[in-house]
Chains A and B, each alone.
Chain A
Amino acid sequence: MRIKQISRGFLKGLQVTGIHLFRRPVTHPYPEQRAYTPPRFRGIHRLIVEDCVVCRACERVCPVNCLTISGVRGDNRRFILEQFDIDYSLCMFCDLCVEACPPHCLVMGPEFEIAAENRHSLRRSLLSQPKEEMV
Chain B
Amino acid sequence: MKALLVALVVGMAIPAVAAFLLWYERRLLARLQVRHGPNRVGPQGLWQSLADIIKLLSKADTMPHTAHPWLFRLAPVMAFLPVFMAFASLPELDPHMNIGILYLSAILSLEVLAILAAGIGSHSKYALLGGLRATAQMVSYEVPLTLALLGPAMAAGSLNLATIVSHQHPLPYILTQPLGALSLFIAGMAEAHRPPFDLTEAESELVAGYHVEYSGVRFALFVVSEYAQLLFLAWLMAVVYLGGGPIWSLGLKILGTVSVVIWLRATLPRIRADQLMALGWKVLIPLTSLNLLWLVAWNL
In the complex the two chains form, what is the Cα distance from A21 to B28 in whole Å? 8
Q: Name B32's contact: one of A10, A21, A26, A29 (CB within 8 Å).
A: A21
Task: Judge whether A18 and B263 touch: CB under 8 Å.
Answer: yes
Chain A residues whose C-beta falls within 8 Å of the C-beta of B36 in the assembled complex: 25, 27, 29
Chain B residues whose C-beta falls within 8 Å of the C-beta of A13 in the assembled complex: 267-268
Chain A residues whose C-beta falls within 8 Å of the C-beta of B34 in the assembled complex: 20, 23-27
In the complex the two chains form, what is the Cα distance from A14 to B35 in whole Å? 17
Q: Known contacts A29-B36, A29-B39; is A21 also within 8 Å of B31 by CB?
A: yes
Q: Give B30-56 as 1s and 0s: 1 = Cβ < 8 Å from A's Cβ atoms.
A: 111111100100000000000000000
B: interface residue count bin: 10 to 19
A76 close to chain B: CB less than 8 A: no
Task: Judge whether A17 and B39 touch: CB under 8 Å.
Answer: no
Q: Name A20's contact: one of B32, B39, B264 (CB within 8 Å).
A: B32
In the complex, how many angstroms separate the beta carbon of B53 from the nearest chain A beta carbon? 23
In the complex, how many angstroms separate the beta carbon of B262 from the nearest chain A beta carbon? 10
B30: nearest residue on chain A (CB-CB)? A25
In the complex, how many angstroms separate the beta carbon of B7 from the nearest chain A beta carbon? 38
Q: Give A7-33 as 1s and 0s: 1 = Cβ < 8 Å from B's Cβ atoms.
A: 000100110111011011111010000
In the complex, how many angstroms separate the beta carbon of A113 from the nearest chain B beta carbon? 19
Within 8 A of B (CB), among A25-74: 25-27, 29
B266 close to chain A: CB less than 8 A: yes
Chain B residues whose C-beta falls within 8 Å of the C-beta of A23 in the assembled complex: 34
Q: Name B267's contact: one of A14, A25, A27 (CB within 8 Å).
A: A14
A: interface residue count bin: 10 to 19
In the complex, how many angstroms separate the beta carbon of A130 from the nearest chain B beta carbon? 31
Q: Give B236-273 as 1s and 0s: 1 = Cβ < 8 Å from A's Cβ atoms.
A: 00000000000000000000000000011011100000
Q: Known contacts A25-B36, A29-B36; is A17 also within 8 Å of B31 by CB?
A: no
In the complex the two chains form, what is the Cα distance from A14 to B31 in whole Å? 14
Within 8 A of A (CB), among B261-289: 263-264, 266-268
Best-buried of A20, A24, A29 by chain B (most CB within 10 Å)? A20
B31: nearest residue on chain A (CB-CB)? A21
Task: Judge whether A25 and B263 touch: CB under 8 Å.
Answer: no
Chain A residues whose C-beta falls within 8 Å of the C-beta of B267 in the assembled complex: 10, 13-14, 16-17
In the complex, how many angstroms separate the beta carbon of B48 from the nearest chain A beta carbon? 14
Task: Judge whether B32 and A25 touch: CB under 8 Å.
Answer: no
In the complex, how many angstroms separate the beta carbon of B24 from the nearest chain A beta carbon? 13
A22: nearest residue on chain B (CB-CB)? B31
Task: Judge whether A27 and B268 touch: CB under 8 Å.
Answer: no
B269: nearest residue on chain A (CB-CB)? A13
In the complex the two chains form, what is the Cα distance from A24 to B31 in whole Å? 8
Best-buried of B34, B35, B39, B268 by chain A (most CB within 10 Å)? B34
Q: Give B1-37 as 1s and 0s: 1 = Cβ < 8 Å from A's Cβ atoms.
A: 0000000000000000000000000001011111110
Chain A residues whose C-beta falls within 8 Å of the C-beta of B33 in the assembled complex: 20
In the complex, how many angstroms separate the beta carbon of A31 from the nearest chain B beta carbon? 11
In the complex, how many angstroms separate the beta carbon of A15 from the nearest chain B beta carbon? 9
- A-to-B contact residues, CB < 8 Å: 10, 13-14, 16-18, 20-21, 23-27, 29
27 CB < 8 A contacts A-B: A10-B268, A13-B268, A14-B263, A14-B264, A14-B267, A16-B267, A17-B263, A17-B266, A17-B267, A18-B32, A18-B263, A20-B31, A20-B32, A20-B33, A20-B34, A21-B31, A21-B32, A24-B34, A25-B31, A25-B34, A25-B35, A25-B36, A26-B34, A26-B35, A27-B36, A29-B36, A29-B39
5 smallest CB-CB distances across A and B, nearest first, come from A17-B267, A13-B267, A17-B266, A25-B36, A26-B34
Additional pairs, 18, CB under 8 Å, beyond known A14-B263, A20-B31, A29-B36: A10-B267, A10-B268, A13-B267, A13-B268, A14-B267, A16-B267, A17-B32, A20-B33, A21-B28, A21-B32, A23-B34, A24-B34, A25-B34, A25-B36, A26-B34, A26-B35, A27-B35, A27-B36
